[in-house]
């Protein structure tokens, strides 16, 4: 007890810490008050650890810990990572990377003022939605378009505008959870509409909808079951049939298409993902989809369809709460222009990755394995599978080549010291930039498909750095 109290008294004071060259440097560069506050927090935490019985590290280690804490507190936490997982639209890693043109568009618009809501022709106030109307009219056959924060807000806004206080009929197999807390029954409740489920989990017929329509019905809803698939004894109503029923009964039809595939995924050996243009052709009132899934653009919710319906959506006070910003609009416009110019597959990273030839991936994997071999790491190229991810195309995969690093084999000359896979993975995650990869059946796997061209050299450097930290005498990659 007495010893601990004496140890705690040895904790450096703030004044003493401020005299450390590294900390003085930080004070000179940044705010004195912030640095002091971060030091206090750090000391408090160390004191807490010591009081809980942990031994106090030596003075030099304490000072080093505090310095790294202050530095950490002054750095942004959101940072780029290298995605070597082979999951193309990785929700936890920020979904779709943008094209060079989309990035440039954000930069251009961010630098100054723009005609975001200003009509240059008339000199009067304009609408931010006007910038995408013509593009979406050409690409999806939309009469009118509107963009909001994300697809979840698009569904909420549409339901709240068109069906508040009314019943919305949806197939029981489509009252789904998309992930991250987006559940159709909950969104329905938030919107003030009442969910009426029809059919069964696996089978729903047109007559199920017909029989459920009554005086309180406000809307027919279809939700694409993006992230799961019912196989076997299953039946659902096509969007054409549902749209026809809506027209016959004078009811609006909303189609939550999900991933926003403007190109046909079937041409890349994948299942066909519903396309917004197909919904509009089928005659739905409105279709909505995400901007950052298969569309390959920024986070956004895009609503296309009937002009009157969209005008009602825009007048809903909720529209202001889910409004899209100018950077998103700039990036989305640049992304949609790729489709219009017929260069989507060549310029949009998501489609580049989906359409990447297996031979190109195999060459890259072989090259990485060779370079890793030079570092003394045993690396093999094996067959594997990439996935599209982002809650789209469940169970669908693209054949790929993986670089597999095995730590299990017998120790050989120049091998890494015994280090567990999870330790190795952690070190790579803590690097700059962090590398995120796959571990499957005891092997460390890198999928070249999702590593962007500009990240390849960084990935090799990160691997080299980790190996050198584990074994300082390892040969280098550079001659
Ligand atoms: C992904 C998805 C959503 C949610 O879209 P966000 O853009 O993530 O808000 C809603 N509905 C379907 C069918 C989806 O696939």
- What's the 152 CA to ligand 1 centre distance in angstroms? 6
- The per-residue pLDDT for 473 is 58
Question: Measured in whole angstroms, how far is the alpha carbon of residue 247 from the centre of its chain?
Answer: 36
Residue to substitute in 151, 181, 239, 295 for testing ligand 1 pocket (most ligand atoms within 8 angstroms of CB): 151
Secondary structure of the chain as H, E, C letters: CHHHHHHHHCCCCHHHHHCCHHHHHHHHHCCHHHHHHHHHHHHHHHHHHHHCCCCCCCHHHHHHHHHHHHHHHCCCCCCCCEECCCEEECHHHCCCCCCHHHHHHHHHHHCCCCCCCEECCCCEECCCCHHHHHHHHHHHCCCEEEEECCHHHHHHHHHHHHHCCCEEEEEHHHCCEEECCEEHHHHHHHHCCEEEEECCCCECCHHHHHHHCCCCEEEEEEECCCCCCCCCCCECCCHHHHHHHHHHHCCCEEEEEECCCCCCHHHHCCCCCCCHHHHHHHCCCEEEEECCCCCCCCCCEEEEECHHHHHHHHHCHHHHHCECCHHHHHHHHHHHHHHHCCCHHHHCHHHHHHHCCHHHHHHHHHHHHHHHHHCCCCEEEEEEEEEEECCCCCCCCEEEEEEEECCCCCCCCCCCCCCCHHHHHHHHHCCCCCEECEEECCEEEECHHHCCHHHHHHHHHHHHHHHHHHCCCCCCCCC
Give pLDDT, residue 2: 64
Q: Is the CB of 224 under 6 A from ligand 1?
A: yes
Domain segments of the chain: what residues? 2-73, 82-89+351-470, 98-347
CATH class, 82-89+351-470 region: alpha beta
What is the CA(300)–ligand 1 centre distance, in A? 10
CB of 260 closer than 6 angstroms to any ligand 1 atom: no
Check residue 443 and give its pLDDT: 82
Report CA(294)–ligand 1 centroid distance (Å).
Answer: 11
Atom 11, ligand 1: residue with shortest CA distance: 258
CA of 292 relative to ligand 1 center, distance in Å: 10
Ligand 1 mutation pick, 182, 239, 388, max ligand atoms within 8 A of CB: 182
| Residue with CA at minimum distance from ligand 1 atom 5 | 151
pTM: 0.91
The verdict on the CB of residue 152 being under 6 Å from ligand 1 is yes
**Bond prior to 433 in cis (omega within 30° of 0):** yes
CA of 290 to the centre of ligand 1 (A): 6
CA 226 – ligand 1 centroid, Å: 8
State the architecture of 98-347 in CATH terms: 3-Layer(aba) Sandwich (3.40)
Averages of pLDDT over each 10 residues, the chain, 479 residues: 72 90 90 94 91 86 90 92 96 96 98 96 94 94 96 97 97 83 88 93 92 97 84 85 97 96 96 96 98 97 98 97 97 98 98 98 96 85 94 87 74 54 83 90 90 95 83 55
Residue 417, pLDDT score: 55
Torsion sign, CA atoms 146, 148, 151, 154:
negative
Say what the pLDDT of residue 411 is. Answer: 47
User: Is any ligand 1 atom within 6 A of the Cβ of residue 150?
Assistant: yes
User: CATH topology of 82-89+351-470 equal to that of 98-347?
Assistant: no
């Amino acid at each position: 007890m007495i010893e601990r109290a004496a140890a705690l008294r040895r904790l450096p004071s703030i004044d003493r810490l401020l005299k450390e060259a590294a900390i003085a440097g930080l004070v000179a560069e940044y705010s004195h008050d912030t640095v002091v506050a971060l030091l206090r927090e750090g000391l408090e935490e160390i004191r807490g650890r010591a009081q809980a019985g942990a031994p106090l590290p030596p003075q030099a280690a304490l000072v080093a810990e505090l310095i790294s804490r202050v530095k950490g507190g002054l750095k942004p936490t959101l940072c780029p990572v290298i995605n070597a997982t082979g999951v193309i639209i990785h929700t936890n890693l920020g979904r779709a990377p943008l094209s060079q043109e989309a990035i440039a568009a954000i930069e251009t618009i961010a630098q100054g003022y723009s005609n975001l809501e200003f009509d240059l022709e008339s000199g009067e106030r304009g609408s931010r939605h006007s910038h995408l109307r013509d593009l979406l009219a050409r690409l999806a056959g939309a009469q009118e378009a509107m963009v909001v924060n994300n697809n979840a807000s698009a569904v909420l806004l549409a339901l709240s505008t068109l069906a508040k206080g009314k019943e919305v009929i949806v197939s029981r197999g489509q009252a789904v959870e998309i992930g991250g807390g987006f559940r159709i029954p909950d969104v329905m409740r938030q919107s003030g509409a009442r969910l009426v489920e029809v059919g069964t989990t696996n089978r729903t017929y047109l007559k199920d909808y017909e029989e459920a329509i009554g005086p309180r019905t406000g809307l027919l809803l279809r939700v694409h079951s993006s992230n799961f698939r019912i196989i076997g004894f299953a039946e659902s109503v096509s969007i054409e049939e549902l749209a026809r029923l809506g027209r016959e009964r004078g009811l609006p039809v909303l189609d939550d298409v999900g991933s926003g595939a403007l190109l046909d995924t079937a041409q890349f050996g994948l299942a066909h993902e519903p396309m917004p243009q197909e919904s509009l052709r089928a005659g739905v009132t409105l279709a909505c989809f995400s901007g950052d899934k298969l569309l390959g653009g920024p986070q956004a919710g895009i609503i296309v369809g009937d002009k009157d319906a969209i005008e009602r959506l825009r007048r809903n006070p909720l529209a202001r709460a889910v409004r899209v910003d100018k950077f998103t609009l700039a990036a989305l416009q640049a992304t949609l222009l790729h489709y219009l110019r017929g260069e989507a597959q060549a310029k949009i990273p998501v489609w580049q990755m989906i359409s990447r030839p297996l031979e190109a991936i195999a060459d890259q994997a072989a090259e990485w394995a060779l370079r890793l071999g030079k570092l003394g790491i045993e690396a093999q190229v094996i067959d594997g599978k990439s996935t599209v991810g982002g809650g789209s195309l469940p169970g669908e995969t693209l054949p790929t080549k993986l670089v597999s690093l095995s730590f299990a084999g017998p120790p050989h000359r120049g091998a890494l010291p015994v280090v567990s896979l999870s330790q190795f993975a952690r070190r790579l995650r803590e690097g700059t930039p962090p590398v995120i990869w796959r571990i499957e059946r005891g092997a460390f796997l890198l999928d070249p498909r999702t590593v962007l061209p500009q990240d390849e050299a960084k990935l090799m450097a990160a691997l080299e750095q980790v190996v050198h930290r584990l074994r300082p005498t390892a040969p280098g990659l550079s001659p």
